Structure 1
Amino acid sequence: MRSVLADTRPLRDPHFRRLWIANIVTVVGAQLTVVAVPAQIYQLTGSSAYVGLTGVFGLVPLVVFGLWGGALADVLERRTLLIATTLGLIGTSALFWLQAWSGAGNVWLLLGLFSLQQAFFAVNQPTRSAVLPRLLPLPLLPAANSLNMTVMQAGAIGGPLVAGALIPVFGFSWIYLLDTLALVPTLAAVALLPPLPVEGVTGSLGLSAVWDGLVYLKGQPVLLMSFLVDIVAMVFGMPRALFPEIAHVDFGGPEGGGLVFALLFAGIPIGAVLGGVFSGWVSRIERQGVAVLACVVVWGLAMVGFGAAVGLADTWRTPMLVAAVLMLVVGGAADMASAAFRTSMLQSAASDAVRGRLQGVFTVVVVGGPRVADVAHGAVAVSIGAAATAAGGGLLVVVGTVLAAVAFPAFVRYRVTTAVRTT
């Protein structure tokens, strides 16, 4: 069983362990807001197109501050930067609570706050990722990334379920307040980290540092390919902007939350958690390029199945709801494995002096892809419907991945050593 279950050796490091345990609480709170924002927008407007606008309002600050935040992480002391951005996230969550508690009911205010939150997240995330190789030996990075993703996705299960149950009863203000309080443990864990100055030659705070990071990345074709396949998977295959409409129109749930709404949002995270629990195999895979491609194809096929199940909901509502959630679970497990491999590739490939900038690009790609998908899926669904949009997007993922593999054979040939420390 030890070879099958998750590798827990990274938890022996006290700093990683504190961050990991704190995230158990924090990610649940964060997912409450992830669910509450589109639900509140849909309640205010009744339109998936407006829900899709979260992609635009999230993507712009994500790109700008993700790239610049990576440059900051290669210059400033990283512990201090983590403390500052975590405080910023706490403040924006409190503003979400204030707008809901005051009954402002303005979709543009909600989208503006969402943009501010994404700006703080875009600086925080690459800094956190750049810190990880300073805490752990490189061979343990796949296991550590799997543990982190398992916790994040577990929170993504609890968040939708709690939000779906509580929104109709208590309203949105309580959801945002819980998110605000849930960030406090992470602030404490970050404050207990040792000083983390950048090792080696550092960059600058200007745009030239961002450009230097992109030039460095240009010479890393395997990393570029890992970004490309993730963009294909997320832009074409992430149907989350359609979940409020599908829950209400196709499966008969209420507009502002409910059980079906929660199950749809929880499906992908459930799969990711199951994939993480049984992730002992990831540390033994040498052909990581092939593994990533296989996982992305499985993700695409799962989204085709999801769209097909939604399309048949009028005929067999309950069985098709089960099938739709099951397809999301399969997709989530595949995406977790793909993300663990791609993150480890990036963390192992760069020196500490440029790691923040590369993690900034990685954050833009990983989080930005779904934001683009929100806009695209929301707009296309207006014309052809949610079911056809989801299924067609999954098919494009499969085709795009196959074409990318043919165009970049070096990624298919990519191997790593799997030797790990056992004591």
Structure 2
Amino acid sequence: PVSLLENWESEINRFFSAKFGKGLSLYGDNLKQRKIPKHLISPQLRNDYGITNLLEDNWLGGADIVLTTYETMRDLEFSLGRVDWSIMICDEAQKIKVPTAMVTKAAKAQKADFKIACTGTPVENSLVDLWCLFDFIQENLLGSLSEFNKEYRRPIEKKDDEDSAIIDELRQLIEPQVLRRMKHDVAELPAKHEVNDCKNIEMSTLQRTLYKQVSNDCRSLSEQGHKGVMLTALHSMRMICAHPLKLQEQATIKDSPKAEWLIDTLEVIKQKDEKVIIFTEFRPIQVFLKRLLLERFGLNVTTVNGDSNTNSRKGLTRQGIIDKFQEVNGFNVIVLSTVAVGFGVNIQKANHVIHYTRSWNPAKEDQATDRAYRIGQDKEVFVYYPSIAADDFETFEIKLDKLLSSKRSLADDMLKPNVELTQELIQSIY
């Protein structure tokens, strides 16, 4: 992924000496300098084959290691496909899990003697993800997709009586091609603690009023036959729990008990002189947290999301922002998007991880937590899932926490799909 280019460059410089070969980052200016101008590409290639991106013949320039993005590989499939690669490595290989996607087809079109797919989540949605990765690694090992669906996917996902036997058969088939090691197998890391006393933050009067209003409106609109109101209502409930101040002009910080909890928690962490990562994918909440932390702690907190660039000409890059955060001594906070920066980067200087809002997928949450809990971490890590609760009913956040906890128990088995919540489960939250 493009967001990890700098991290990969940094790790290559760290672990590889010059004797291992010359590296080339095929992105940005390096890519522009090596592309053939579009007007010089023949009309036949453009019109008959749809080829609008090509590299010059000598684009490699003596490089032995080429680092590039999935999107560049997709756009330059034909130029890259002319090279006889010794090794092809796909990091965060779930990017090529969809059989019909152009990026997947481009990856499988490359000529390589040895292929590696690196991912912590080989099965995110269904066993088709697994088939697609193995079709890249060793074509036909699991047969065609239709054969795989018939022999393995459908019986396993139906949970027939023979489910365990079929899973064991599939496991034995792929075992020679899999190297799966958990952190505790390869490193002695400090303890990781889930802080549970923040999972029962009492709902404020304003939140209760707003919550009841959304619930009543949803029921009324549903009875009238309006479609899609449930998902809209759930999003509103989610925002009421996390950020009620946005919905009421006269509201104060007292109306947002989660924000109050955050301030109190950060005060304690500040006394310890330690660093904090706050995860939320919602832009309004990122902006709110940035303003809150400036007012309460005088911190000009950096937010890293999908807008954060990877091109140093536009200012600090994403990796540069994270490096700067890590270099500052003492207490500090960084706000990250679970979606945009939930994987690949290293932030071991932080040892407190706060999931201010939750992901629908526990695997993505755990990947986000592991930005801090990874090799190189020398402090105990504390993980927080602050949740708004009520004494007379289960709120959105409490129901979501229970569902994610039940699904998280499957996460260690790579053949058990750790799927995002289905429509049925979403309805149970409502």
Q: TM-score range by the shorter chain?
A: under 0.3
More helix by share: 1
Q: Which has the higher contact order (CA 8 A, sep 6+)?
A: 1
Greater gyration radius? 2
User: Could you state the TM-score of these two structures normalised by the residue count of structure 2?
Assistant: 0.24
User: Could you state the TM-score of these two structures normalised by the residue count of structure 1?
Assistant: 0.24
